[in-house]
């Protein structure tokens, strides 16, 4: 039996609903359903199976799923894979108005980004989940949809990067490479230190050291949301040997402590 989820049941007075969903409580299983709203699902980590209108698809990091109200779907995490995603739901009228104003024909059903594109869309999704836990604004939704559309068209995604850098950034998401830090990024890129620095500044506007720290912070966010690990252990797993430095850097990037970040996330997405 297919159940119908209704927007007014959980966000009647809000411009959107956003939640970070992580596999930290015995796995994730969302039963077959449809809904009266549009939905975007950003896969940040882990693996799973997604059944959409009778067809099975594999969930992998970097996927951006656009679910229409008439779509029928369900999903299940691959046990132990650490599936984590951000789910953003909004009224169909809001999507239609955005598409009309932006001149975008439609958001494709599935788009996959990697490298810096994945980091950017991950940050956008996590920001939506955090904003929803405070005081969500229609402007949040407009900005988020704009970022998704740019990623869907390839603008501002890893397609703008040299192939060698995009590939290296995707590999830097593993904890082994994060622990090795900047020397590992340089090794993966197979270019000189000066060439890496010029390229990263040209395309991303930051120093390579800052880029590595950004990737580490993104992974720390995922661990804070999907595991019960304490902040010191997370700092070590992300490559920081000094927990105090991790606290300062995390607060500087996110505007809150790791503890407050964990408390502020809502874990009740519908999938």
Asked whether the predicted pLDDT for residue 110 surpasses 70, the reply is yes
pLDDT at 120 over 70: yes
Please indicate, yes or no, whether residues 148 and 46 belong to a single structural domain of this protein. yes
Q: In sequence order, what are the beta bridge partners of 33?
A: 3, 73
Residue-wise pLDDT tens digits, 80-93: 788 889 999 999 99
What integer is the mean pLDDT of 161-188? 87
Who has greater pLDDT, 128 or 2?
128
Q: Render the burial of 94-104: b for 16+ CB within 10 Å, e for the rest.
A: bbeebeeeeeb
45-60: buried (b, 16+ CB within 10 Å) or exposed (e) per residue? bbbbebebeeeebebe
On whether residue 107 sits in a domain, the answer given is yes
Q: What is the DSSP letter of 13?
A: T
What does the block give as tokens for 62?
A: 């970097």
Domain end position, chosen among 153, 185, 220:
153
Query: 134 and 192 share a domain?
Result: no
Residue 244 and residue 186 in one domain: yes
Of the residues 153, 182, 214, the one at which a domain ends: 153
Cβ pair 73, 67 in contact under 8 A? yes
Select from 103, 124, 153 the last residue of a domain. Answer: 153
Strand residues in 15-169 grouped as ranges (E) = 17-22, 29-35, 37-45, 48-52, 55-59, 63-67, 73-77, 84-91, 110-112
Q: Containing H/E element for 4?
A: strand 3-5
CB atoms near residue 205 (< 10 Å) = 9
Give the residues across from 65 on adjacent strands. Answer: 41, 110
User: Residue 34 is part of which domain span?
Assistant: 3-153
Cβ atoms 6, 91 nearer than 8 A: no
Residue 1 has pLDDT above 50, yes or no: yes
pLDDT score at 268: 43
On whether both 22 and 94 belong to a single domain, the answer is: yes
Same domain, 179 and 145: no
**In a 3-state reduction of DSSP, which class is residue 192?**
coil
Residues 6 or more apart whose Cβ sits within 8 Å of residue 108? 66, 152
| 271 located within any domain | no
- Asked if residue 125 and residue 58 are part of one domain, the reply reads yes
Q: Over the stretch 148-164, which tens digit does the pLDDT of each residue have?
A: 888 766 544 444 678 78
Q: What is the pLDDT of residue 2?
A: 67
CATH number of the domain enclosing 177: 1.10.10.60
Q: Is 270's pLDDT higher than 50?
A: no
Question: What DSSP state is assigned to residue 58?
Answer: E
Q: What is the pTM of this model?
A: 0.66
40 shares a domain with 83: yes
Position 214 pLDDT exceeds 50: yes
Identify any residues that bridge with 90 across adjacent strands, giving them in sequence order: 38
The structural domain count of the chain equals: 2
Structure tokens at 136: 């969500």
């Amino acid at each position: 039996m297919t159940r119908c989820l209704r927007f007014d049941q959980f966000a009647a007075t809000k411009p959107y609903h956003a939640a970070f969903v992580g596999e930290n409580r015995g796995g994730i299983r969302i039963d077959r359903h449809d809904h009266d709203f549009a939905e975007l699902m950003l896969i940040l980590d882990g693996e799973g199976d997604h059944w959409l209108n009778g067809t099975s698809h594999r969930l992998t990091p970097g996927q951006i799923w656009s679910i229409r109200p008439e779509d029928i779907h369900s999903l299940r995490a691959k046990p132990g894979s650490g599936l984590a995603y951000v789910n953003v739901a909004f009224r169909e009228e809001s999507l239609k108005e955005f598409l009309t104003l932006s001149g975008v024909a439609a958001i494709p059903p599935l788009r996959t980004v990697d490298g810096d594109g994945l980091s950017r869309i991950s940050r956008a999704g996590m920001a939506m989940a955090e904003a929803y836990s405070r005081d969500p604004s229609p402007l949040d939704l407009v900005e988020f949809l704009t970022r998704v559309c740019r990623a869907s068209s390839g603008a501002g995604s890893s397609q703008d990067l040299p192939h060698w850098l995009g590939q290296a950034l995707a590999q830097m998401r593993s904890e082994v490479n994060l622990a090795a830090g900047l020397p590992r990024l340089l090794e993966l890129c197979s270019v000189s230190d000066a060439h890496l620095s010029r390229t990263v500044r040209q395309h991303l506007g930051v120093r390579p050291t800052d880029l590595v720290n950004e990737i580490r912070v993104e992974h720390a966010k995922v661990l804070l949301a999907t595991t019960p690990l304490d902040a010191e252990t997370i700092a070590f797993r992300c490559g920081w040997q000094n927990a105090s430095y991790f606290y300062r850097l995390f607060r500087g990037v996110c505007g809150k402590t790791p503890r407050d970040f964990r408390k502020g996330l809502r874990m009740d997405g519908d999938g």
